[in-house]
Amino acid sequence: MIFRLDDRLLFPDPALAEEDGLLAVGGDLSVGRLLLAYRNGIFPWYNEDTPILWYSPHERFVLFPKELKISKSMNQVLRSGKFRVTHDTCFEEVIAACSAAKRKDQDGTWIIPEMKEAYVQLHREGHAHSVEVWEDERLIGGLYGVEVGKVFCGESMFSNVSNASKAALTDLCQSGKYELIDCQVHTEHLESMGARMISREEYMHILQNADGKG
């Protein structure tokens, strides 16, 4: 059953989501609603041709930082000093680059203007963060997502130079800030770095304990 949201800040039980993870339709992208969604394992994913769609997959594609796999070639790249990595220095530029990125596994068109505006506001209020990768003074890769306690809910990443997005994710995992990176959507790229599926129940247990609000 797909639920229709109204003006009240509430969501149905995520366990009631459809087989594809779709749980609810409607509502808005206010900071309060987005934070409530992420704290309950729910995220928005839609495009300009649909209303706001809220998902809570029955299985979550996640990366435990301790399980991160770094190839020998990637280790060489990281040791070379070729890339410089920063955090939260240009969030808006990162989300714009993610929106413009063309990729085989995902469609960047879901990062529509109202989504950008909503996540920029989350960033301004300290809930959304970015990792930037630079070569010289040029932004060549990065990622952004929402922080829920010690869980980082990754939204999207981009790479204009080989290995740049891997460098961003590696830095995020090695920061020591997070117990879990929620990758949301399966890609071979992330699977090669150690990401795997877990059940919603396991995900929610980690999320609620990491957030301290469960």
The answer regarding whether domain 61-211 maps to CATH 3.40.50.970 reads no
Can you give the residue ranges of every domain in the chain? Answer: 3-58, 61-211
Residues of the chain with pLDDT > 70, as a percent, come to: 95
Identical topology for domains 3-58 and 61-211: no
User: pLDDT above 90 covers what percent of the chain?
Assistant: 85
The type of residue at 27 is G
Q: Which CATH class is domain 3-58?
A: alpha beta
Q: pLDDT grade, residue 101 (50/70/90)? A: confident
The three-state DSSP-derived secondary structure of the chain is: CCEEECCCCCCCCHHHCCCCCEEEEECCCCHHHHHHHHHCCCEECCCCCCCCEEECCCEEEEECHHHCCCCHHHHHHHHHCCCEEEECCCHHHHHHHHHHCCCCCCCHHHCCHHHHHHHHHHHHCCCEEEEEEEECCEEEEEEEEEEECCEEEEEEEEECCCCHHHHHHHHHHHCCCCCEEECCCCCHHHHCCCCEEEEHHHHHHHHHHHHCCC
pLDDT band for 106, please (50, 70, 90 cuts).
low
pLDDT of residue 214: 42
pLDDT of amino acid 102: 75
Does the structure show a pLDDT above 80 at 117?
Answer: yes
For the full predicted model, state whether its pTM sits above 0.85. Answer: yes
Rounded distance between C-alpha atoms, residue 63 and residue 193, angstroms: 8
Decide if 146 contacts 37 (C-beta within 8 A).
no
Higher pLDDT, 49 or 212: 49
